[in-house]
């Protein structure tokens, strides 16, 4: 019996994905550049061995799969993917589908897809979220490619995906780079979500002087409410864990330098490319960069010291309730921005991205999974073409209920010198977005003054320049 699908790359993600595929009753052929890895993988597969065909050569591997052959490539992102595709190509036949399941830049995905045009072969760019655990037991899967190629893999991918209320967290989202683009924005939102949680943690730790375990209690409580989500859940667990060596809270012993692999940065670059304000995601990426500059921060603290903090609010309970609402408000801002970037990209690349479906497949399996995404799913289902999530009836009500707490929290943090760039940028975004008459009239006047750029008048009178002479007079 031939395999239903093939997989190349038995690293952390690939091996877990392969076991998941086998476990769900799909026969799978596997290959890894270093054959010892394949041998070990097969030897460790236990009762799933019957579903796995381990292959040591590409010829053997390709022959083991039922045509048209879907082949998942789950290897190091970048050049290795192009190299692997070149190696595979001569062995493939009309209709075969190479599927890049790594964290690719969607622009590379579009290029790879286009390069295969007229070759008889096709390409799927597939975003897989949920880390190792997700790959093994059910990831969220975002697929981009032709609809025909999706139909060939739909059954297998549906069987391995995460489920939310029995609904599979996998969908075909559009042509070429659609899946990898959506995965990129997922990661950008993830950056913002994590940064906002970290900022709130910073206020609890440095503004209220709570211990790690006291903060864990706060997050445990929040996880029962509207913030219920995987990230809040693991935050509580992280805060509770003790270091096995010293017995101290683990989190207190971890250096405050955050790493990043690039998808957050890509989100920000693409937001800028599309002309969409994604300030919370930008703030989150910038905050990781600043976090990594530990030496410079230490030197700067020696020069400036720290500002004198405000006294902790007298009503601690009320302030903690404010923090919960502030986090919700800011989170709405970040998600609204992420969806706005996707909406702009959808038009630019002609993908027709289905917003309710994207929210739906993020409800389980991925890192940002939450009850909140179920609410986003409903909001977009009722109004799939709305300009911005925050003006949907459900979310506008949430913003009305929570923007005052966000304002109080940001004010308190700012006056105490506690950095809250992501929370503050979400607030700044609301304040700019909700105000019909802003201050850009002055910018237009300045631009006209020095560059004769002209402006529109509020009274409709057709007089495109101001009474400031040539502007160069001041020189």
Separation between Cα atoms, residue 350 and residue 341, nearest integer Å: 14
| Token reading at 344 | 């702009």
Sign for the CA dihedral angle at 178, 268, 222, 226 comes to negative
Beta bridge partners of 174: 144
- Closest distance to ligand NDP from the beta carbon of 310 (Å): 40
Q: How does DSSP assign 431-452, residue by residue? A: HHHT-SS-SHHHHHHHHHHHH-
SS3 for 214-246 is: HHHHHHHHHCCCCCCEHHHHHHHHHHHCECCCC
Separation between Cα atoms, residue 55 and residue 69, nearest integer Å: 15
Contact (Cβ atoms closer than 8 angstroms) between residue 372 and residue 233: no
Interior CA angle at 462 toward 461 and 468, to 5°?
A: 95
Separation between Cα atoms, residue 218 and residue 214, nearest integer Å: 7
- Strand boundaries in 166-254, DSSP class E: 167-168, 170-174
- Closest distance to ligand NDP from the beta carbon of 19 (Å): 13
Closer of 33 and 163 to ligand NDP (Cβ): 33
Closer of 76 and 434 to ligand NDP (Cβ): 76
Closer of 76 and 400 to ligand NDP (Cβ): 76
Separation between Cα atoms, residue 425 and residue 437, nearest integer Å: 19
Chain residues in the site for ligand NDP (CB under 6 A): 9-14, 32-34, 37, 74-77, 80, 83-84, 102-103, 128, 131-132
- Closest distance to ligand NDP from the beta carbon of 34 (Å): 3
- Closest distance to ligand NDP from the beta carbon of 285 (Å): 17
- Closest distance to ligand NDP from the beta carbon of 438 (Å): 40
Residues in the chain: 475
- Closest distance to ligand NDP from the beta carbon of 37 (Å): 4
Is residue 275 helix, strand or coil? coil
- Closest distance to ligand NDP from the beta carbon of 387 (Å): 31
Closer of 10 and 62 to ligand NDP (Cβ): 10
Is residue 212 helix, strand or coil? helix
Separation between Cα atoms, residue 46 and residue 113, nearest integer Å: 37
Contact (Cβ atoms closer than 8 angstroms) between residue 425 and residue 287: no
Q: Which residue is nearest to ligand NDP (CB)?
A: 11
Separation between Cα atoms, residue 340 and residue 407, nearest integer Å: 23
Q: Which sequence positions are flagged as catalytic?
A: 183, 190
Helix (H) or strand (E) holding 30: strand 28-31
Beta bridge partners of 143: 126, 172
Closer of 11 and 466 to ligand NDP (Cβ): 11
- Closest distance to ligand NDP from the beta carbon of 32 (Å): 5
- Closest distance to ligand NDP from the beta carbon of 75 (Å): 3
Contact (Cβ atoms closer than 8 angstroms) between residue 269 and residue 285: no
Closer of 129 and 377 to ligand NDP (Cβ): 129
Sign for the CA dihedral angle at 93, 99, 104, 109 comes to positive
Closer of 263 and 416 to ligand NDP (Cβ): 263
Closer of 38 and 357 to ligand NDP (Cβ): 38
| Token reading at 371 | 């009850």
Residue 321, CB-side half-sphere exposure with 13 Å CA sphere: 6
Closer of 54 and 249 to ligand NDP (Cβ): 54
Separation between Cα atoms, residue 286 and residue 188, nearest integer Å: 12
């Amino acid at each position: 019996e031939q395999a239903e699908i093939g997989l190349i790359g038995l690293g952390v993600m690939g091996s877990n994905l392969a076991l998941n595929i086998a476990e769900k009753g799909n026969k799978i052929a596997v290959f890894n550049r270093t054959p010892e890895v394949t041998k070990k993988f097969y030897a460790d597969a236990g009762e799933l061995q019957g579903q796995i065909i381990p292959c040591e050569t590409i010829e053997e591997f390709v022959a083991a799969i039922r045509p048209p052959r879907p082949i998942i490539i789950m290897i190091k992102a970048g050049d290795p993917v192009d190299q692997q595709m070149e190696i595979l190509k001569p062995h493939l036949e009309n209709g075969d589908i190479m599927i890049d399941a790594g964290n690719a830049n969607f622009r590379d995905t579009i290029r790879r897809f286009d390069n295969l045009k007229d070759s008889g072969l096709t390409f799927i760019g597939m975003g897989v979220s949920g880390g190792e655990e997700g790959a093994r037991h059910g990831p969220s899967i975002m697929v981009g490619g032709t609809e025909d190629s999706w139909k060939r893999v739909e059954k297998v991918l549906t069987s391995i995906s995460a489920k939310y209320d029995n609904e599979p967290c996998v969908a075909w989202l559009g042509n070429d780079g659609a899946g990898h683009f959506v995965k990129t924005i997922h990661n950008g939102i993830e950056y913002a979500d994590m940064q906002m949680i970290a900022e709130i943690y910073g206020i609890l730790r440095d503004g209220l002087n709570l211990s790690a375990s006291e903060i864990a209690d706060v997050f445990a409580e929040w996880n029962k409410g509207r913030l219920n989500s995987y990230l809040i859940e693991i935050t509580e667990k992280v805060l509770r864990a003790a270091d096995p060596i010293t017995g101290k809270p683990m989190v207190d012993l971890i250096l405050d330098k955050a790493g990043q692999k690039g998808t957050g940065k890509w989100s920000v670059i693409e937001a800028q490319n599309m002309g969409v304000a994604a300030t919370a995601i930008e703030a989150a990426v910038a905050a990781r960069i600043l976090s990594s500059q530990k030496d410079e921060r230490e030197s700067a603290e020696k020069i400036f010291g720290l500002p004198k903090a405000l006294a902790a609010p007298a009503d601690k309970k009320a302030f903690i309730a404010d923090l919960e609402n502030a986090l919700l408000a800011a989170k709405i801002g970040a998600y609204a921005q992420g969806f706005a970037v996707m909406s702009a990209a959808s038009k630019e690349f002609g993908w027709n991205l289905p917003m309710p479906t994207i929210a739906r497949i993020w409800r389980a399996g991925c890192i940002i999974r939450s009850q909140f995404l179920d609410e986003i799913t409903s909001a977009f289902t009722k109004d799939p073409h709305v300009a911005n999530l925050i003006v949907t009836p459900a979310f506008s009500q949430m913003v009305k209920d929570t923007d005052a707490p966000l304002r109080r929290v940001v004010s308190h943090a700012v006056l105490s010198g506690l950095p809250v760039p992501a929370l503050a940028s979400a607030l700044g975004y609301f304040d700019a977005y909700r105000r019909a008459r802003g201050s850009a009239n002055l910018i237009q006047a300045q631009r006209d003054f020095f560059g004769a750029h002209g402006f529109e008048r509020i009274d409709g009178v057709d007089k495109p320049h101001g009474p400031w002479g040539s502007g160069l007079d001041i020189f």
